[in-house]
Chain A
Amino acid sequence: MATLLDLKSIHKSYGAVQALNGVSLTVREGEVLAICGDNGAGKSTLIKIVSGAEAATSGQVFLRGKEVHFASPADALACGVATIYQDLALAPRLQVYQNIFMGAELTRATFIPFLRILDKKKMSQAAADYLGRLNIEIKDMKAPVASLSGGQRQAVAISRALRWQASLVIMDEPTAALGVRETAQVLDLIRQLHDQAVTIIIISHNMEDVVAVATRIVILKNGLKLGECLTENLTAAELSRMIALGDLGDRNIIRQTAVE
């Protein structure tokens, strides 16, 4: 598989706090990569750097082999990197389709030259289409997001990523606030994206979810990468133990290649 994203020795400090201490990692096209680790390990910080929400103190980010410098989320979005934040970053009182097209609204020409107005009809239809692709039933595209269930909101946030035609979708704890049924729904959404050849990075504290959807796992601790492992034949209990002990044992594929 070709390399999509390459992070080289990323450091990030917040004043005296060293959130990331030289993390390097590679994301391959089409994979579902999980980033795991204890609270404060630096997971969110790492993805904020990739999504353009924060700038690294030092280190390099390569996208499809080219070095990129994302100064803002808009820059990352323009390169096809869309992030779904833990709080989903929606405007609850605005409508479903408005949220899906937030920041990327469709417009149409008017009889006045150069004056373009919002194409609400087209946006509603396209929004319904994106949600349909995710097999999520939301009847009214004009309903306020506040009236939706947690799973439906997650679907709205994911549709937003689709709207940007993102080739890399990053999700920070997408199931953290959800019930059993809705969690299953979101995992399904992730599989759908995976089937559509979208590359995914997922952060989660739920080991069951991680082993269920991820193809590869990176474990962070105290701003450092402990190692990587594949999810094949990996149980949730085993993964929990690796994170708790801070040791991947012979599961660590990085150490294995180093030994060879």
Chain B
Amino acid sequence: MTEKYQNFLRRYGTALGGLALFIFFAIAAENFLNPSNLLNVLKQISFLTILAIGFSFALTTSELDLSFATVGSLACVVAGGLIYHQFSPILAIAAGLFAGLAAGVINGLIVTRLKVPSLIGTLAVSSIATGVSFWITGGVAFVGRWADAFLFLGRGQLVGIPVLVFWTLIIAVFSLFVLKQTRIGIHMIFTGENDEAARLGGIPTQKMKVLGLSISGLTAGFTGVLLASTLSSADPTAADGFMLTAIAAVLLGMTMIEPGHPNVPGSLIGALTIGILSNGLILMGVEYYVQDIILGMIIIASVSVSASTITKAAFSV
């Protein structure tokens, strides 16, 4: 095997695996290629990707955010609750985004000021977010006839393509731009690569960590708002199920494109792969718990392949 070929496999091997998975389900799973099914997959992947990209910002600064899923649920009930009580959609959206951002900033301050490792700190915030969500809804979900303007956010279509897909692409392109083209982006990357070196080089590393965790919170907030709109209901556990899938998407993404680094195209392909996998398995009538088992194995395999300074630092307490 030539070196060039090896390098190609190293960078794109996982993506090829995802493609193989797609072809496999296209042949083996009835209805997989059905347009309505593909549309459904695309929607699921949208939520997954947005959450994954947010999580990867935190991971870029070498911090873990284990709260993004329940923070997404919190934003979902905050936005959904306001819509349910007939407040304006603008206010509901802003409040949902704010809830996510606030949780992210709190995570950042807990990590940088109180010196609580992010693994523990964000887990605690996750618990708090769940508690607050149930408190807000009284344990049930807000369901009702919601304003059309609000529903368009998650259910609308533009030129036959779900609006959700556009949100995902906008966020992906914007994130890629920030990380690759701006000083803030490279300062976040330096912070994750070598915290002490970055500090000695004059980079405000603590601020970068707060920023990374805040972005993760904000994207979680946005996902929560989108979920409320798409489901036209607000459940205090609406986004909880995305926790492991989004983390797996990012870790899977770190095995490709820029091996070892969290990267946006990688997260996108990781989310696509995991979305296809879970949909395909369901269509083939495989028991639901099999997905959980596979997800766990993907996480272990990805991290062992791409074991890097960033992941090691982030996962150590």
Contacts and interface: CB of A to CB of B under 8 A. Distances in A.
Interface of A: 51, 53, 72-74, 77-78, 83, 85, 88-94, 98, 102-105, 107, 116-118, 160
A160 B190 CA distance: 15
Contact of B202 (A77, A85, A90): A77
B196 A104 contact: no
A102 B308 CA distance: 20
26 contacts: A53-B200, A73-B201, A74-B202, A77-B201, A78-B202, A89-B194, A89-B197, A91-B190, A91-B193, A92-B193, A93-B193, A93-B309, A94-B190, A98-B186, A102-B190, A102-B198, A102-B203, A103-B187, A103-B203, A104-B202, A105-B186, A107-B183, A116-B182, A118-B181, A118-B182, A160-B201
Given A90-B194, A93-B309, A117 B181 contact: yes
Nearest to A110: B181
Contact of A117 (B182, B189, B196, B199): B182
B261 A93 contact: yes
B182 to A, nearest CB: 6
Contacts, number: 66
Contacts of A74: 202-204
Nearest to B201: A103
A200 B193 CA distance: 29
Contact size class for B?
20 to 34
A77 B201 CA distance: 8
B96 interface: no
A107 to B, nearest CB: 6
A88 B194 CA distance: 11
Contacts of B182: 116-118
Contact of B200 (A73, A78, A104, A105): A73
Contacts of A116: 182-183
B181 A94 contact: no
Contact of A89 (B187, B189, B201): B201
Contacts of B203: 74, 102-103
Nearest to B187: A103
A73 B202 contact: yes
Given A93-B260, A94-B189, A94-B193, A103 B309 contact: no
Nearest to B197: A89
Contact of B199 (A73, A83, A90, A98): A73
A198 to B, nearest CB: 19
B176 to A, nearest CB: 12
Interface of A is mostly: loop
Interface string B252-267: 0000000011000000
A97 to B, nearest CB: 11
A94 B197 CA distance: 12
Contacts of B196: 89
B213 to A, nearest CB: 20
A51 B198 CA distance: 14
A140 to B, nearest CB: 15
Contacts of B201: 73, 77, 89, 102-104, 160
Contacts of A104: 201-202
Contacts of B186: 98, 105, 118
Contacts of B197: 88-91, 102
A117 B183 CA distance: 7
Interface string B198-226: 11111110000000000000000000000
A245 to B, nearest CB: 35
Given A89-B200, A102-B190, A105-B183, 11 more contacts: A53-B200, A74-B204, A89-B196, A91-B189, A93-B260, A102-B201, A103-B201, A103-B202, A103-B203, A117-B182, A118-B181
B260 to A, nearest CB: 7
Counting chain B CB atoms within 10 Å of each CB, the highest count among A78, A103, A104, A107 belongs to A103
Nearest to A93: B193
A184 B200 CA distance: 27
Counting chain A CB atoms within 10 Å of each CB, the highest count among B187, B190, B202 belongs to B202
B244 to A, nearest CB: 27
Given A93-B260, A93-B309, A117-B181, A103 B194 contact: no
Nearest to A105: B183
A72 B205 CA distance: 12
A162 to B, nearest CB: 14
A83 B200 contact: yes
A103 B183 CA distance: 8
A51 B201 CA distance: 11
Contacts of B193: 91-94
A21 B51 CA distance: 53
List the 4 closest pairs (A to B, CB-CB), nearest first. A74-B202, A103-B201, A89-B197, A91-B193
B260 A103 contact: no
Interface string B1-43: 0000000000000000000000000000000000000000000
A104 B194 CA distance: 16
Nearest to B204: A74
B274 to A, nearest CB: 26
Contacts of B187: 103
A154 B127 CA distance: 47
